[in-house]
Amino acid sequence: MTLRQTPVDLPAMQANAGQPFGLYVHVPFCITRCGYCDFNTYTPAELGGVNPDAWLMALRAELEMAAARVAAPVLSTVFVGGGTPSLLGGERLATLLDAVREHFTLAPDAEITTEANPESTWPEFFAAIREAGYTRVSLGMQSVAPRVLGVLDRMHTPNRSAAAAREALAAGFEHVSLDLIYGTPGESDDDLLWSVDTAIETGVDHVSAYALVVEEGTALARRVRNGELAAPDDDVLAHRYELVDARLSDAGLAWYEVSNWCRPGGECRHNIGYWDGGQWWGAGPGAHGYVGTTRWWNVKHPNAYAEALAGGMLPVAGFEQLDAQALHTEDVLLKTRLRQGLAVGTLDAAERERAEAVVSDGLLVTEGDRLVLTSRGRLLADGVVRTLLG
């Protein structure tokens, strides 16, 4: 592993033939920092000289260098995440996609996603990005309960996320996702079900639901440490997951990954690429990429990112070369989380023996030549993986 604060050059890389190739673009801008968030984001006061236009200019330079480095493979997916990509507005998001097309070829059926904060969207925004070629929108809902939003320091009003989802659908987006968080201190079962039901009623075809994680260094962690808020309880989190799963399943949204549910055809293909062995270039401050057997991560601050590219260097902070054991571990870790399950042939003899014990415990079930998590197994997915790997 190589770790440095200044940019380093990547080794020669060859994309694996036959695997999907995606592009992730990280937009580092946020108006405020939510109390639970530890993503690589920056408020205006933290940015210094880098504004969205300067960031976009630097991004163009990285895309040009990326296309040359990996021989510009055809992109099956593009995902613009953050941060708050919708703060760029429709025109800049269209310009961003034009820059991608300038250096890469998009597959005819490419999935092109942007994340968005409900408060920085409006009908004209959705119409503009749909016309630009975006095919999917992922909206941060988190909750519709005001007290839960307050604890999370979310700025959007309780009804805005549902309204934004309807606006995206009205603009012609077939694929719209809403993201929920469960287990926030002070949240009740009714608060959670209110949020899930609201998401269902919008008519979106995808819902993600994540247990609240108290990340070190966040405002939420400080409040928990000071005794102001209770830490999330594992038993409560498991119960809330079961509530989410039952409600979404009854509404016709089936799980396809432990934390993701969709209607038929609504899967996020970009994220499936992460879980199912695909490759991607990560562009933008702090973005991670993975090509061949090389994983790397960019410098975090937008200023350092722009400076590296202005100097003609890829903005890479560090990289690692994954050996056979590391690749196997990741294969088991990620594919076990998918509804399609893990191919038994992926496991060695000792791992298959341990898998039989997990099946006996009711955490995995055999479907043909694959091992699939049961409902109880999904609650203990990390433990299942640890057992399989020994």
- Checking if the pLDDT of 346 tops 50, the result is yes
pLDDT band at 219 (very low <50, low <70, confident <90, very high): confident
**pLDDT for residue 35:** 62
Percentage, residues of the chain above pLDDT 90: 78
Element (H, E) at 271: helix 269-275
Q: What is the mean pLDDT of the chain?
A: 92
Give yes or no for a contact between 259 and 237, defined as CB atoms under 8 angstroms apart. Answer: no
Q: Which residue has the tokens 């604060």?
A: 5
- As a whole number of angstroms, the distance between CA 279 and CA 275 comes to 10
Q: CA–CA separation, 119 vs 251, rounded Å?
A: 27
Q: Annotate 184-222 with DSSP letters as a single string.
A: -TT--HHHHHHHHHHHHHHT-SEEEEEE----TTSHHHH
Per the model's pLDDT, the better-predicted residue between 197 and 221 turns out to be 197
Query: Which pLDDT value is given to residue 1?
Result: 42
Residue 4 has pLDDT above 50, yes or no: no
> What is the reported pLDDT for 3?
40
Q: How many other C-beta atoms can be found within 10 angstroms of the C-beta atom of residue 7?
A: 20
The CA-based angle 99-100-104, given to 5 degrees, is: 125
H-only helix segments in 52-202:
52-69, 89-103, 123-132, 146-152, 160-170, 189-202
The pLDDT score that the predictor gives to residue 207 is 98
Where b means 16+ CB within 10 Å and e means fewer, 219-250 reads: ebbebbeeeebeebeeeebbbbbebbbebbee
How confident is the model over 342-366, as a mean pLDDT?
97
Tell me, what's the pLDDT at 2? 41
Surface-to-core class of residue 96, CB atoms within 10 Å of its CB (0-12 exposed, 13-18 middle, 19+ buried):
buried
CATH class of 21-276: alpha beta
- Provide the pLDDT for residue 36: 62
- Mean pLDDT in residue range 331-349: 97
What are the residue ranges spanned by the domains of the chain?
A: 21-276, 324-389
CA–CA distance, 341 with 334 (Å, rounded to integer): 9
Q: What is the band of 179 on the pLDDT scale with cuts at 50, 70, 90?
A: very high
pLDDT tens-digit profile of 28-86? 988 776 666 666 777 766 776 678 999 999 999 999 999 999 987 899 999 999 889 99
Residue-wise pLDDT tens digits, 248-306: 999 999 999 999 999 999 999 999 999 998 999 999 999 999 999 999 999 999 999 99
Average pLDDT over residues 202-210: 98
Q: How many contiguous H segments (helices) and E segments (strands) does the chain have? A: 14, 16
Mapped onto helix, strand or coil, the DSSP state of residue 149 is helix
Smallest Cα–Cα separation from 10: which of 390, 358, 319?
Answer: 319
Distance in angstroms (rounded) separating the CA atoms of residues 330 and 335: 8
State the pLDDT at residue 203: 98
Reading the block at residue 10, the tokens are 């990547």
CATH of 324-389, picked from 1.10.10, 1.10.3470, 2.50.20, 1.10.287, is 1.10.10
Q: How many Å apart are CA 50 and CA 44, to the nearest integer? A: 9
User: CA-CA distance, 75 to 340, in Å (whole number)?
Assistant: 23
Q: Which of 266, 277, 248, 290 is nearest to 342 (CA)?
A: 277
Per-residue pLDDT tens digits for 118-171: 999 999 999 999 999 999 999 999 999 998 888 887 766 778 999 999 999 999
Say what the pTM is.
0.94
Paired residues of 338 in beta bridges = 257
pLDDT at 155: 65
**Using CA atoms, how far apart are residues 300 and 319, in angstroms rounded to an integer?**
14
Same topology for domains 21-276 and 324-389, yes or no? no
pLDDT of residue 156: 63
Output the pLDDT for position 226.
82
pLDDT value at residue 168:
98
Which amino acid does the sequence have at 207? V
